[in-house]
Amino acid sequence: MFDTTKIDSFKKRIMITGGAGFIGSHCCRYFVNKYPDYLIVNFDALTYAGNLGNLRDIETKDNYCFVLGDIRKSEEVSRIFERYKITDVIHLAAESHVDRSIKNPNVFVETNVLGTLNLLNVAKEFWKEDYSKHRFHHVSTDEVYGSLSENEHPFKETNKYMPHSPYSASKASSDHFVRAFHDTYGLNVTISNCSNNYGPNQFPEKLIPLVINNILNSKEIPVYGNGLNIRDWLYVEDHTSAIDLIFHEGINGETYNVGGHNEKTNLDIINDLIDLTLEVNKKTLKNVILKPRINFIQDRLGHDKRYAIDNTKIKALGWKPANSYKKNLEKTVRWYFKNQKWLEDVTNKEYQNYYKTMYKNGE
């Protein structure tokens, strides 16, 4: 149990919502290690996507604590603001998977829209003496801008919002609420709209970890449509360094698009993963891995063709990605090889049921 008598010794007490998820856990780790004078309060409901196993290396640090809580419940958020004298929020908690949003949109509104509104209301109340001293950073997605055709210019911050999936519609709505609280009440906010992330600890419902998991288990790789949809892939630690920069240096009320100019078709990514996995396997574990088979399946409903980010604005703030795509993808594959126990734990019965429902025959 965290000793709350020490609370006043911290320069900032930041609530990171969704800190047990993929990006949230990297964000907690980054802030805990870089800022020993900040207290990081990880507020997470531990849904299927939340996993405290992502945070083992920082769980005993003096400037970190975990609180089980649901952003859909205002009173829980309020209680934690009061108990930890929260000075700032970095908001990542969300339902984050497009396919799930197509099957069940309601929970996306409850968590992503109403949950964000709850956080904003509590922040507005607690910080009312002087909003300028407290920052609310909202982590969002490039999917709010809709879909690009092949030759269109990448998304700028000034692009119109044109979300297509229930997921992106819910994130777009949450972005609007964050801006409305800035424009109406003067809350000190920043928003980041980032492209597709990859890296360790990503739940294997998303393309990259799903493909790695299937290769390791000699299962077919399911590709929606013709596999030529394009995403702009960014390594998760580059996203957290961007969040850090925007949180500290971003201008109140502004939005920053985050992406590393790394556009790939889904087939490009899958072929790179097959090559890397076979190579890493040969060098390390020497498991029996069959040459993976790609299975083209029915396309996702409303499948966005292409996402790409114009990162001029965040680069002007001083951000750039640290390493190359090839290095980072190899690092990611190696991590999943080394952490097959992590994969086994998260691909439990609930995941098997999910997989069967989403991919019909479970293959």
Which residues are catalytic, by number?
142-143, 167
CB of 21 to ligand NAD, least distance (A): 2
Of 1, 43, 38, nearest to 21 (Cα)?
43
Give the tokens for residue 295: 């299975």
229 binds ligand TYD (CB under 6 A): yes
**Which residue lies nearer to ligand NAD by CB, 17 or 188?**
17
CA 243, CA 124: separation in Å to the nearest integer? 21
Among positions 281-310, residues that touch ligand TYD (CB under 6 A) are 300
Residue 337 backbone phi and psi in degrees, to 5: -60, -45
Tell me which of ligand TYD, ligand NAD, none is bound by residue 231, counting a contact when its beta carbon lies within the kind-specific cut-off of 5 to 8 angstroms.
ligand TYD
222 binds ligand TYD (CB under 6 A): yes
Max CA separation in the chain (angstroms): 63
Residue for token pair 């919002």: 161
CB of 57 to ligand TYD, least distance (A): 26
Residues contacting ligand NAD: total by CB under 6 A = 30
Of 191, 189, 144, nearest to 169 (Cα)?
144
Near ligand NAD by CB under 6 A: residue from 113, 169, 178, 194: 194
Of 69, 66, 85, 68, nearest to 77 (Cα)?
69
CB of 11 to ligand TYD, least distance (A): 35
**Residues 44-76 as b or e (16 or more Cβ within 10 Å = b):** bbebebbbeebbeebeeeebbbbbebbbbebeb
Tell me which of ligand NAD, ligand TYD, none is bound by residue 252, counting a contact when its beta carbon lies within the kind-specific cut-off of 5 to 8 angstroms.
none
CB of 107 to ligand NAD, least distance (A): 8
Near ligand NAD by CB under 6 A: residue from 15, 18, 211, 255: 18
171 binds ligand NAD (CB under 6 A): yes
89 binds ligand NAD (CB under 6 A): no
196 binds ligand TYD (CB under 6 A): yes
Near ligand TYD by CB under 6 A: residue from 15, 32, 207, 212: 207
CA 279, CA 331: separation in Å to the nearest integer? 13
The β-bridge relationship of strands 136-141 and 88-91 is: parallel
CB of 289 to ligand NAD, least distance (A): 26
CA 218, CA 285: separation in Å to the nearest integer? 15
Q: Which residues face 16 on adjacent strands?
A: 42, 90
**Which residue lies nearer to ligand NAD by CB, 92 or 333?**
92
Catalog residues that contact ligand NAD under the rule CB under 6 A: 17-18, 20-24, 44-47, 49-50, 70-72, 92-96, 111, 115, 139, 141, 171, 194, 196-197, 203
